Amino acid sequence: MRRLLIAGNWKMNMKLDSAKALASGLKEAAAGITEVDIAVCPPSVYIAPVAEALAGSNIACGAQNAYFEKAGAFTGEVEMAMLTDLGCKYVILGHSERRHIMGESSELVNLKVHAALKAGLIPIVCVGELLKEREAGVTDLVNRRQFDGSFSGVSAEDMKKCVIAYEPVWAIGTGKVATPDQAQEVHANLRALIAERYGKEVADVVRIQYGGSVKAENAKDLLGQSDIDGALVGGASLKVDAFMGIINAVK
């Protein structure tokens, strides 16, 4: 049985005080919840204070991105080992905002996936189609390409550790949510693809989260689908009540 993973992607939001307050508020509100895995991914400069505020809680810390190289002359970048150093468990890789705003390719995401696994981090690898791709009927093709590119060379044992986040780009920050049926269809196709590449045993354990305008009101229906194993939450992860509303709706 796959455990649900509810992760908050804070994106480029918060300041030091609000980040610490959100972390402390979540620690208190989520105390005692053992039915689901919970994580928050603050901006990298706030990981240390957030991890400190979450110490002793059931909420793990993650990062939103990192570079694939080992320490060296890479101005402005963060190494995977720096994230484990701060107590991170997860790292989001290949988020659509990085693919489409920063121009990250699946080849680059792939290098990062290997580096994250080597460092002992759990990569949360995002895939998802643009609205025009969905309308052109190439949703599965786009997701398959992003999956194959991002996981190239990853062993079956490592694949089992990875998390995939299906985030249709047209549903991110727009208030437009994929219907549970639309999301389930893509999730089932992604799981079938994992089975094709790695076999059923691996496909059965890999968690596939849904992301895109998830909130307390729609979380139960989405996460009630058989192949949806959690949520990657943007806007609704920035307030204790909104994030806890999602967790309480699905736990």
Residues that bind ligand 13P (CB under 6 A): 9, 95, 167, 172-173, 211-214, 232-236
Give the dihedral of Cα atoms 60, 6, 249, 233; nearest 10 deg. Answer: 120
Q: How far separated are the first and last CA of the chain, in Å rounded?
A: 14
Structure token pair of residue 57: 């809680």
The half-sphere exposure of 1 on its side-chain side, counting CA atoms within 13 A, is 4
Q: Which residue is nearest to ligand 13P (CB)?
A: 234
Beta pairing partners, 5 = 37, 230
Q: How many CB atoms lie within 10 A of CB 137?
A: 8
Residues recognised as catalytic: 95, 167
Q: Give the shortest CB-134-to-ligand 13P separation in angstroms.
A: 16
Q: Give the shortest CB-232-to-ligand 13P separation in angstroms.
A: 4
- Please tell me whether residue 189 adopts helix, strand or coil conformation: helix
Which residue stretches of the chain are H helix? Answer: 16-30, 47-54, 80-85, 96-100, 106-119, 131-135, 139-151, 156-161, 180-198, 200-205, 216-223, 240-250
Which H/E stretch holds residue 153?
A: none
The half-sphere exposure of 155 on its side-chain side, counting CA atoms within 13 A, is 4
| Residues contacting residue 9 through CB under 8 Å, at least 6 positions apart | 41, 64, 92, 95, 211, 232, 233, 234, 237
Cα–Cα nearest to 42, from 79, 70, 67, 17: 17
The type of residue at 147 is F
